[in-house]
Structure 1
Amino acid sequence: MVPAAMAVSVPFCHAVLPFPAAARAPLARSRGGRLGLASCCGAGPISANAVTCAAPVAGAARVGRRRCELFDLHRQVVPYVDSWGWQKSIVERRKALVGIDTDTDEDHSDTLIALQHPPVYTLGNGNDEKYLNFNLEDSPIEIHRIDRAGQVTYHGPGQLVLYPVLNLRHQKKDLVWYQRSIEGVIIRALQSAFSIKAARIDGLTGVWVGDQKVAAIGITCARWIVYHGLALNVTTDLTPFEHIVPCGIKGRSVGSIKQILQKASSGRELNDAELMDIAYESLIKEFAEFFQLSLEPSPDLLL
């Protein structure tokens, strides 16, 4: 029997998770103030100025923007059921603030959680077992049924996962618009940070580089509060994707930022931690800019 993530008791939800000191460490740079990474298109090393840190989009300086708490765990590997418990707890509190009446809205802030997961498969509420290349009882890794839309996908170390909990009453009450907007955020982040030209493919949710899917998106909504989010393959081991048909899309492959950059630079060795930091900083910058949010880093995940 596959455990349902929403039914799992998560006592950790009520604990304080310290903000990791490592996540605040500056990126290592080579001489001349440049990041030690060649751009995808061979235009030379990326300038330190090309990667915008979280600080400029955080805090009260962004007058008129909606507040968004940022829980930065992007260097940590967090069990799936823990992050799922955090989201559920946040959503339940937020639902109480907006109420059932659409004219009632005392919800004054959003939330963004960034992290990585240990190896895990998640099955969306429309999952068909024909997209699994194994029996459910014999899954090679942990597996959970959850309430997001879509089919099966994989999460694991080296994959940057963002869980935005946003009140779309302050954006646009349109789930298709929201998904397309998330795709646009990822596309701009890949271009600005790595000179990778990513794109959408008509009829297929996600972000693609050529025929390879590099980012998956899965969401659900309660009273126009959206949660779950996006998963971007940065330095991910792609082997576990071979045991599934990712997102139920046949005939296409998955890729990662590291794989794409190495191919463009003839196999040059790249620093995994640095790639993750760059991807994280670029992604949250584009996210905050598009949704007009003032990101406020929180030292603790207190739920």
Structure 2
Amino acid sequence: MRVPRTLSVWKLGTVNYSDALKLQDKLAACRKTNTISETLLSLQHPPTYTLGKRRTDHNLLISEPDLRNIGAELHYTQRGGDITFHGPRQAILYPIMSLREVGLGARSYVEKLESTMIELASVYGVRAQQGQKGETGVWVGNRKIGAIGVRISSGITSHGLAFNIDPDMDYFKHIVPCGIVDKEVTSLKMETNGLSLPTDDVIQDELISCFARVFGFNDVICETRRLEDIEETLN
């Protein structure tokens, strides 16, 4: 008989990046002490650029005053990876998990995140694959459809993946996405040739289902949560 593996999924809607970062830090601390079990945050962000711990500012092609003019924020983080963009119509998953408990190493964990997005793309007839050597994320040919940037501290994961459903692609013109020159960024909408897609909520739910299958969770508990309520619970 298969032992149940439970994943708690918190659907947060649209959350400012700084608030999501603080929440991840708190949940990672709770996971270290076994106060919570494996948890997955599903959300979207307002327009936001983030840089990883390597601080590759040269891949940001716009000044900070101009960033404000286009309604975007800039955040520095402790995740791996290079610069990326987060915004509306992009599905984001932040797993807060113990790699020891789920029986994974760092490399296999990242590969499963890639497989999660590849599986979602396949639902819509889009053939995606892992990047070639030195290319992070998930690609359709030479076009990037999904980004990955993770942090692993004391075996606990945070940050995660971002899958482009139909974001405003103009925002990507202001960066060298993930530090990879001469490669394009794409979206599910573009790769399905304008196919009428379901709502973002439906696609994010499909992404959650793909994640659960790839990581072997057979018991998924989904809740729609408000950030304010979570903060009260954790404080």
- TM-score, reference length from structure 2: 0.88
Out of 63, 76, 92, the position equivalent to 1:145 is 76
Aligned partners of 2:225 and 2:73: how far apart in 1? 27
- Is 1:126 equivalent to 2:57 in the alignment? no
Compute the displacement of 1:125 (Å). Answer: 0.3
Aligned partners of 2:62 and 2:207: how far apart in 1? 34
Aligned partners of 1:194 and 1:278: how far apart in 2? 13
Compute the displacement of 1:63 (Å). Answer: 6.1
Residue deviations 1:85-118 (CA, integer Å, cap 9, x gap): 1111101112233xxxxxxxxx662101111110
Determine if contact 2:51/2:84 at 8 Å carries over to the other structure.
Answer: yes
Aligned residue runs from structure 1 range 48-87, under 5 A? 64-73=3-12, 76-87=13-24
Give the root-mean-square deviation of aligned CA atoms.
1.9
Determine if contact 2:31/2:38 at 8 Å carries over to the other structure.
Answer: no
Cross-structure match for 2:30: 93
Aligned partners of 1:211 and 1:201: how far apart in 2? 9
Determine if contact 2:91/2:165 at 8 Å carries over to the other structure.
Answer: yes
- Is 1:280 equivalent to 2:208 in the alignment? no
Out of 220, 224, 238, the position equivalent to 2:155 is 224
- SS of the aligned residue for 2:192 comes to helix
Compute the displacement of 1:182 (Å). Answer: 0.8
Aligned partners of 2:10 and 2:128: how far apart in 1? 27
- SS of the aligned residue for 1:139 comes to helix
Aligned partners of 1:290 and 1:248: how far apart in 2? 28
Determine if contact 1:113/1:163 at 8 Å carries over to the other structure.
Answer: yes
Aligned partners of 2:131 and 2:49: how far apart in 1? 24
Out of 109, 116, 122, the position equivalent to 1:185 is 116
The code of the aligned residue for 1:194 comes to Y
Out of 86, 91, 112, the position equivalent to 1:155 is 86
Greater Rg over alpha carbons, structure: 1
Out of 230, 233, 241, the position equivalent to 2:164 is 233
The code of the aligned residue for 1:71 comes to W
Determine if contact 2:31/2:96 at 8 Å carries over to the other structure.
Answer: no
Compute the displacement of 1:126 (Å). Answer: 0.9
Aligned partners of 1:134 and 1:96: how far apart in 2? 41
Determine if contact 1:200/1:208 at 8 Å carries over to the other structure.
Answer: yes
Out of 257, 260, 264, the position equivalent to 2:188 is 257
- Is 1:298 equivalent to 2:202 in the alignment? no
Gaps of 5+ in 1: 1-61, 98-106
Gaps of 5+ in 2: none
Compute the displacement of 1:151 (Å). Answer: 1.2
Compute the displacement of 1:237 (Å). Answer: 0.7
Determine if contact 1:208/1:215 at 8 Å carries over to the other structure.
Answer: yes
Compute the displacement of 1:201 (Å). Answer: 2.1
- SS of the aligned residue for 2:33 comes to helix
- SS of the aligned residue for 1:284 comes to helix
Determine if contact 2:82/2:178 at 8 Å carries over to the other structure.
Answer: yes
Out of 129, 135, 143, the position equivalent to 1:199 is 129
